[in-house]
Structure 1
């Protein structure tokens, strides 16, 4: 039996927590208007790879790359920006776990907001109860779990694979946003 998302977050190390939160944030970037360049978080991914030595400086670079802008009344965009704003500059398990947990919930809630057929609180999805979750939410949950599993396995290409998983989710969300804009 595979572990729930909540269990995987609880067991993750600092690198896994940072990359998990970062992957959630990365997948949600298409909700920003205007959307930043695809590589807006590149410096923060590099910070996660370097750990404590590169984290705080890279965090500042990423915040500058995803500078304020867009419609302040846009709730989804505000939530995505808050995901980055809440990133801790300290490379420590407690703050990183809190950030990973918050990013996980926010990403699930944002996906659920784009999928009106989904019902149920995002907290329930993280413990394995996917009743009422539509395909968009289920896909996001699957990607969150996969990122944590890949990073927990300790393979050399774990961060690269986490970025690839994130890029796939970003493409899905970009398509949903584009489809909604065309039908509006």
Structure 2
């Protein structure tokens, strides 16, 4: 049975930090593949800086095409919105019964994980792989030494998509923070310039 890690994000845009984490997780854990789950635009929220779903998916495709173990997926695009991770996990597990799905999250998200919808159900049925982040605050003690939560020592990457969007808007050279294919796509499409 293939062991798949699901790495959720808006990827607006996907940057080298996302790739560093995804590649490190798949190469330094028992995961066979990482699926980059592009989170769709929530129709109930107005967020003008968020590119259309298909553009963000295209950038993830371009960023990951050289990595055999990292794949883009639009699985959440077809689910009713607003959506919750617990529903995505149920849907994807039903669609791919021969795969075992696991959640990937940053340490900062683990701190609020107890507030997620049906987080207990997630932990009953799935493992959670956690990568380190520089953040303040304490992780809930209920997750200390939890058998389903697996910290993975990964590089701490402090690159954000917001920083990249602002850099492009301010006409700064942010090219080293993106794969060439993603940079070329953003440049050709004139994204984030306003």
Q: TM-score, normalised by structure 1?
A: 0.29
**Richer in helix (by share):** 1
Give 1 or 2 for the bigger CA radius of gyration: 2
Q: TM-score, normalised by structure 2?
A: 0.28
**Richer in strand (by share):** 2
Higher relative contact order (CA 8 A, sep 6+): 1
